[in-house]
Structure formats: C-alpha cells, structure tokens
Amino acid sequence: MLLRALSTLAVVAVPWSGAAARGGGDALEAQVDTIMAGWAKPDSPGCAVGVVRDGALALAKGYGQADLERGVPIGPASVFDIASTSKQFTAAVIALLAQEGKLSLDDDVWRFVPELPRYQATITIRHLLNHTSGLRDYTDLMALAGWQMEDFTTAGQALATIVRQKELNFPPGAQYLYSNSGFFLLSVIASRAGGKPFPDLARERIFEPLGMSSTHFHADHGLLVKNRAVGYAPRGDGWAISMSDWEQTGDGSVLTTVEDLARWVRNFDDPKVGGTALVEELQRKGRLTTGEEIDYAEGLRHVAYRGLATVGHSGSWAGYRSSLLRFPSEKTAVIVLCNAETAEAGTIARKVADVALDGRLGPAPAPSPTPAPSPAGKTGRVGAADLASLPGRYRSGELGTDLEVAAVEDRLVLRIRDRDSTLTPTGNDAFTAEDPLPLTVVPIRDAGKTVTGLTLTCGCDGFRTLRLVRAP
C-alpha cells in the first residue's frame, strides 16, 4: 500500500541557479498537497504544479497519473500540451522577428498571406496579436464543418478555412474578440518572414537559448514525445483517452513541462532572450480604434487578483488544461498543467497563489452569485409546415461543406456529417442547436415564404453570422 500511495505523487527539489527561493517551502508543499488531494490518486489523471519565486522553483510536484495504462505518475518533467497558453510563445517569435527587422507589427497581414481576401480595412499583425482582427475562428468553423478534435487535420486545411471567409466579424480594431485564427496566421507569417518552419524558429530563438529542452511546437501528430502525459476525459465511472491530431501551430500546440515553463518565467525578470524590449512588448496592452485600452496584450492577459496585478494565460484543448499566472510585483508565478478534461487549471492556480502569496494578497473575493437562468425563448413541438419545408441540404462556400436539415419522426435535426443535433423551436421562426456549437438557426424565406437558406448565429467567439444557401 505504501508503494502504491507513493506512485501517485512525484516531487523534486530542483537545484536552480539564480536567487534562492524565499522560505516556507515545506509549509507551501503541505498546503499545495491539501489543494491537490483530490487529484493524488492511482486511478486518475491529474496535474503538475510549480511555484516560481525570485527566479527559482520553490515547488515542483506532480499529482495523479501521466499514463493510466502504464501506471506512470505525473512529475515536474512530465510533458503536457498547454493549448492556448502557447500563444505567448508565438507572440514572442513575432516580436523577435520584428527586432531583427524581418517584419513590423504594423505590417498589413496581406504582405505575408496574400491568399487572404482583400477586406475593406487593413488587418495588421498587431491586430492578430491583440485579438482585434475580426477574423472568424477557424477551430469553430472546422467544428461546424464536422471535424472533431481526434481527427487528423493539417495547417493547410486551417489556412484554407480562413481564406474562404469573405466577411469579418467586425472591422479590424473595432472590438476585441478572441480568435485562434489570428495566432495560427502569426505562425504562418513567422515562417514566411523567418524563412523556415515555425517550430524551428521557436526552438532556435527561445527554447534552446533558455534551456527549455523538453519544449517544442508540436506540428507532427505522429512524433513520439518522451515523458508525455496522456490527455483524458471522463467516460462512465472511469477515463478515456482524449488527444488531438490537429497539426496547426501558433494558437496552441506547445508541449512543455513545469520545469521548462519556470525557465520561461525567469526570462521576464531576467531577460536573456529578447531583452527588456521583448518583455515590454509582450505585455503591451492592445488598443481599439476608439483609443480604448483592452486587457489583452500579446499572447498574455492582464487581470487583477486580490489587489495584485497578474499577467498570464490559460489553455484548454482535448484532455489538457493549463494555466500560467505571474504576479510581476512579487516576482512569483504559479504553473498548473493538467491532463484531465475536468481539471480547472485556472482555479487551481489561484488557490495555489492564495497560499504562495499569503499575507501579500488583498481580501479574498466574495463568491460569485449563481446567475439566474436566462429567460428561455418559447419552445414547443415542430410544426407540420416546418417539418415539410425545412429539410434539405444547405451550402456555404465559406464553410466548404454542406449541412443538412432532416426530419426525424416529429423533430428536426441539423446533420453535420454523421452527427445530428436537435433543432429546438424558440418561436419567431427560429431554432437552437447545441452540438457541435451553440447555434441560433433562422430560415431565410423569399416573398412566397419558401425557405431559400439559413442564417446561423453562434453563441461562441468563432463567428457572428454565417449564411447558407439551399442547395438544388
């Protein structure tokens, strides 16, 4: 029993060069153990947790299993997909190329990606970095076209999806709206400006100089990765593998460890790569065309927590969850990397920060009230007229595929490949669907009330409105 219990935890006292960590290491470990007790199990995935103080790892510890089939515990050297937490590395590559004079952040994106449509207003590289481009999100568009995370998809497919979009969500610079398309395009721009594959640029300019030997942009889904933690999602009373074979880079796809991310954190306080100019650029908040400053910088988000400024990012993809949260004034950072779809990495990071910065934080925030449910639209049975008039195929050149509305007994479904999502009537000639995206579906009718198409509005960041024409 003792050996079995020990296998659920992996802890290391990491000898780091640099300033010594402040005291209280044993107490910190005990407090983090309490926070992570629910994940410290031999039959569960879990998380690796790191606390960086003054450039040194004060804590690096694993909880749960990296590989449930083989009984491999999570440790500080376990490699995780950090999903969107990767975006800061993409921004750093772009900023370094700007330092080298190979591009400018105010360049028209079309300079490097002439395949894009000529929109009415210029999209700049800075717009991509700040999520103010207005570009529709390719991940949502590909999901709507029927692609699932476990499918094999390429960078070429993602670029083709973006290039097909004839409309933007809004004029560039007018709003902030999170878009993976922007950061994927940054990887394309970096490769074309830098003259080599994007993963090589990141390795040569960031990962190797900082000694991040277990870190890379994962552009080949078949590449073997030593010490990789398998991603999991709940299934029944246990767990099932949840991994992605999408090969796009830039918006995600960094595989790394707690130990390597601690080296990256240290570069913000003692910048060996890019100097202070890089640190300042990455943390520069974006601005809208109105002059309004936004909280998103370049692959990093500014948020206040208990009276202290934080800079960080989180990630969520397949069975992986991650959070990298820095407190610049305290020279402290919390790293949480998880291989369970249900892990709330951001919540864990804040709880760890509560104990790591005890006495330095302001009052704990009051629990957020449970929001009242939104008034539901009028729902009911699908009418006979809709059952007769709506079924058919609907086509969008921007989506690159057809969707089908089908009548199944007394209900309508939106059929995407072989997956059906029930169309629930809400009144006012509109329907909702929930899978794979939260959609409002409104029929387009001609003067004779014949259905000629559909308008899709997404309750997501991906796209505001998409129009489909009824196929003959």
Local structure of 468: helix, strand or coil:
strand
Distances (CA, A) of 123 to 108, 185, 423: 6, 12, 36
pTM: 0.92
The answer to whether residues 103 and 212 belong to one domain is: yes
Strand 254-256 to 216-217 pairing: antiparallel
Domain range for 238: 81-134+169-356
Q: What is the pLDDT of residues 218-228, one digit of tens each?
A: 999 999 999 99
Average pLDDT of the chain to the nearest whole number: 92
pLDDT at 428: 85
Q: Which residue has the tokens 């990491």?
A: 14
12 domain-assigned: no
410 domain-assigned: yes
Nearby residues of 385 by Cβ (< 8 Å), 6 or more positions away: none
Return the number of other C-beta atoms located less than 10 Å from residue 112's C-beta.
Answer: 19
62 domain-assigned: no
Please give the full DSSP string across 368-415, using - where no structure is assigned: PPPPPPPPPPP--PPPHHHHHHS-EEEEETTTTEEEEEEEETTEEEEE
Q: What is the pLDDT of residues 323-339, one digit of tens each?
A: 999 999 999 999 999 99
Q: What is the pLDDT of residues 89-108, one digit of tens each?
A: 999 999 999 999 999 999 99
Nearby residues of 405 by Cβ (< 8 Å), 6 or more positions away: 390, 391, 392, 394, 412, 413, 414, 415, 423, 454
What is the Cα 410 distance to its own chain's centre? 38
Q: What percentage of the chain has pLDDT greater than the value 70?
A: 93
* pLDDT range class, residue 4, cuts 50, 70, 90: very low
Whether 36 contacts 49, CB under 8 Å: yes
pLDDT at 25: 75
Distance between CA atoms of residues 212 and 203, nearest Å: 9
Q: Which residue has the tokens 């940054």?
A: 186
150 domain-assigned: no
| CATH classification at residue 175 | 3.40.710.10
The answer to whether residues 227 and 94 belong to one domain is: yes
The answer to whether residues 128 and 244 belong to one domain is: yes
Distance between CA atoms of residues 218 and 248, nearest Å: 8
Return the number of other C-beta atoms located less than 10 Å from residue 376's C-beta.
Answer: 10
29 domain-assigned: no
Distance between CA atoms of residues 172 and 453, nearest Å: 28
The answer to whether residues 314 and 442 belong to one domain is: no
The answer to whether residues 351 and 405 belong to one domain is: no
Mean pLDDT score, 268-292: 98
| CATH classification at residue 437 | 2.40.128.50
Mean pLDDT score, 390-402: 95
362 domain-assigned: no
Question: Structural domain tally of the chain?
Answer: 2
Distance between CA atoms of residues 260 and 207, nearest Å: 9
Best CA proximity match to 198, nearest among 186, 210, 181? 186
